[in-house]
Each structure stands twice: as structure tokens, then as C-alpha cells.
Structure 1
Amino acid sequence: MAIVMDGNGRWATDRGISRAEGHRAGGRALADVVQGALEIGLSHLTVYAFSTENWKRASAEVAALTDMVREHIEDEEHLRYDVRLRWAGSPDGLPLDLVDALVHHEHLTRHRTGLTFTVCVNYGGRAELAQAAGAIARAAVAGQVDPARISEHQLARYLPLPDLPDVDLLWRTGGERRTSNFLPWQSTYAELLFTDGYWPDVDRRDLWRAMTSYAQRQRRYGAAPPGPQLPPGQRP
């Protein structure tokens, strides 16, 4: 599952408090959702914590967003459980201590086999695809790849996290109906779920409801639905 955690700022504005407080509340909601993912046995959870477009926001809000990520990582709650932490995104422009914390905890939990929790920080989907294209172009120049035989599976191996599986369900809170440059390669066939509630109001029960909604959908990947069963010997 992948989640766009939207609505922290609007949640705070509705309550007459700072947007920074909204992001802190969003961090608490994320902690509860991670616990819910562990309880239900989810194998992969990927969240959009800070996009490359978020740099356009006021500096105080950018600091609040990065602080929320840092606090979530450094409280080390996830170290008590079988959680493998991964980071997707670029270090460019991020506070050095945040980059160090992400890299440290990614290394510290690298052998864990429970929930793989990927945090997208300073992440952009198009930038990720451009990075993969650049890497495979360099491999072609070096003679390691035949440009005439590049397949989608081969390109996927050059993504920054090539082993990140395809997304089954992409869930966005906050009432918006778009994916906002989040995991464009991995979510090509994802089921989409958009809910109106703001992220700080979410808890593990909402995660479970989202997963129940997904389980009730029929996925065909381009195939036609099965026809009605006919009695033996009867032709359609």
C-alpha cells in the first residue's frame, strides 16, 4: 500500500493552530497507521512524507515537515518491531542530520523481514524515472546494455529502489483526487482510493477499512471478466 498523507495544514487551519502543529499531528497519525500495518500483516507500506514540490512552501512549513520526519525516525519506536525502514528521494537540500538519520536507520534495519516501511522524503516520481533513464543510458554507452533490447523490466532494475514492488492500493486523504507525482512507475496498475478526511484524523482503523475496500475490488489487468457458467453440454 502507498499513501499520500494529505490535509495536515488544512486540519490545523480549521482549528486555528499553526500548520506546524498540523504536521506534528500528522506524525502521530502515521505512527498509529504503522502499528496497524504491523498488526494486520501488511508486507509493504510506502508514504509520501515530503515531495520535491514541497520546497515551494514557506520555510517554516518546510522545516515543520522535515522535523516531523526526523521525529518519527529518531524516536526509534519502529526499532521495537520487525520493521525495515527504507528511504526514497534525494538528499539535495535536506538537513544533513535528517539525511544521516534516514541512512543510519535504513542500514540498521536492513536485515528485517517484517513490514518494509518506505518513507519518500524529497521525492518526485518523474525525477526518479529520469534518474533511471540516465543510469540505463550510461550503461548503454558503456556497452553493458543493448539499446535496441531495453524492456520495461530492464528499466525497472535501474530505479533507485528496484526491489520496491508494484503498488496494489494507492490511498490519498484530504479530499484531493490526484496522485501528485507519487510512484508513477510502481502505481501504474494500482487501485486508487480517495477519502475526504484529513490525515491527522486517520488511525489504524482507517487503514484496515482501506484494505477491506481493496479486497472487495475485482482486478483483471486488462482481461475480460469471466462469463456466466453454462450447464454441461450447452453452448454459449
Structure 2
Amino acid sequence: MSPKGHNRLRHVAIIMDGNGRWARQRGLPRIEGHRRGVENVRQIIQVAREIELEHLTLFAFSVENWQRPPDEIASLMDLLELFLKRNIKDLIKNEVRLNVIGRPEELPDRVQKPLHKALEQTAHFTERQLNVALNYGSRTEVLDAVRAYAEAVREGKEDPRNLDWPHFENYLYTRGVPDPDLLIRTSGESRISNFLLMQCAYSELFFSPVFWPEFGREHFLKAIESYQQRERRFGKTGEQVQHPTDHAIANS
């Protein structure tokens, strides 16, 4: 399938939801749902590479997730550590740069070593980037950005009289990353749960009823095809929008 449309697609962000419910429906422990969800990440990364997507952002662990039972949090950290160790070779082979948004420094020490290793070994790649939101919350991001900007003002590096969005967004975790063109959430929930609130101001939204462990290639491409059929106006009228040349998704 090779869906086409007038919308250029550079960045897709995904809220990977439904692991626990997927497991519960099958009489399995929640951690088995998370394990299957981690396995599915590899498939989606592969599809993103095939369609030449520049940025793929995955919501892996939120600041609110610390409220979950300690044993579940420990298991999630184990899965994160395992994912980093198992997939670093694929990232290097496919020339994908790993980037982390959030407060990763607050993660357990056992995750820090493989995380820093992956970041260092992929830092020189420029064509494709996997952004993983770890210990992330959009409101926390804004507060951190405000603190950083205020400090820059105090040090004389910024003049608040010149403050505009291009200046301020450089203090967000996502500085240098284009805003998502498309935000996907799986599992049938229709909310964005404190994820990239500033960056998704004009993103197209796609809510899939499919739980994340079963959200495969065909579901991903269906979401992209839906995006390609839409008209993005950014506050303009339909007559004001100039459509660039059709952007084709690579054969898949």
C-alpha cells in the first residue's frame, strides 16, 4: 500500500496505550501486556524507517506513572533496560538517533548506563530520530522551560521584551525537534494525557480502538493514510492554504 496526500509527514508521536487491558482480557498479568507492548515497538520503528519518517516519538513512561504499584514500576524499568540493550544494534544499523525527552536523570541507576550508551552511540546520526518520552509530563516540561528561561533572563542571556514562541520553545525538552504532524493514541481512549500539549497545538489526532500490543503495520499505515486525507489549515481558510507537492509514503 502506498497512500498519498498533500500533507508532508515528518513527525509522528504515539501514546502507546492499552497494554494492561490487553493482558487482562487474556487472563495474563499486566506486565505481560507491557512486555508485548515493548516487542511491538520494534515493529513500528521498522515501519517508520521504511516510510522514511524523520521523527518518531513514543510516550514510554510519564511522571504520573510513578503512582503505579512499586512492583509494576520495577518491571517497567526492567523492560526499558532490556529494550535499550537489545535494540541499540538495530538503531545503529538503521542510522537512527536516539533522543530522550523528559527527566531521565530521575530514572533508576540500572537504566542510566544502557541509556547513556545508546545516546552516545547514535548521537552522530541526522536523518532519522527516535524520541522516547521517559519520566515525561507536558506540564512539568513547561515549568522546567519557564525556570530555564527565567535563569537565562537573570544571567542576561535573554530579554523578556523579545519573548515570542520561537524563543521560548528552545527551552522545551523538544528543542530542535519539529512539532508532531500526527499524534496517535491506541486503545480507544480519546485524550492526550499531558503529552506534548504545547507541541501538538496544530497536530492532527488519530484515536485507534486497537490496544498497543496489537497495533501493527496495517494499523500504523491506516493512521498515516487518514492523516494524508486531511487538510491542515493552521488557522487559515481553505483558500489560503497552499498545498505542496504530494508526499508519497514509501512502498510497504
Question: Which TM class, normalised by the smaller chain length?
Answer: over 0.9
Quote how far apart the aligned CAs of 1:115 are. 2.1
The yes-or-no answer on 1:170 pairing with 2:183 is: yes
Distance (whole Å) between structure 2 residues aligned to residue 122 and residue 59 of structure 1: 15
Larger Rg: 1
Unaligned runs of at least 5 residues, structure 1: 228-236
Residue of 145, 149, 153 corresponding to 2:158: 145
Deviation string for 1:138-180 (max 9, x for gaps)? 1111122111221111001112331011110000001111111
1:136 aligns with 2:131: no
Task: Give 3-state SS (helix, strand or coil) of 1:6's partner.
Answer: coil
Q: Distance in 2 between matches of 1:59 and 1:127?
A: 22
- Alignment size in residue pairs: 227
Secondary structure of 1:223's aligned partner = coil
State the distance in 2 between where 1:83 and 1:91 align. Answer: 19
C-alpha contact 2:182 2:227 (8 A) present in aligned 1: yes
Distance 2:192 2:143 in 1: 18
Out of 101, 113, 137, the position equivalent to 1:88 is 101
RMSD of Structure 2 on Structure 1 (CA)? 1.3
Q: Partner letter of residue 61 of structure 1?
A: E
1:60 to 53, 71, 75: 71
Does residue 196 of the first structure (1) align with residue 241 of the second (2)? Answer: no
1:20 corresponds to? 31
When the two structures are superposed, what TM-score results if normalisation uses the length of structure 2? 0.86
* 2:59 aligned residue: 48
SS in 2 for 1:128: helix
Shift of 1:92: 4.9
Provide the TM-score with structure 1 as the length reference: 0.92
Does residue 71 of the first structure (1) align with residue 90 of the second (2)?
Answer: no
Contact residue 85 and residue 106 of structure 1 kept, 8 A: yes
Give the stretch that moved more between structures: 111-120 or 62-71. 62-71
Match of 1:184 among 187, 197, 201: 197
Flag as ranges the 4+ runs of structure 1 deviating above 4 A: none
Percent of residue pairs bearing the same amino acid type: 41
Which runs of 5 or more structure 2 residues have no equivalent in the other structure?
1-11, 241-252
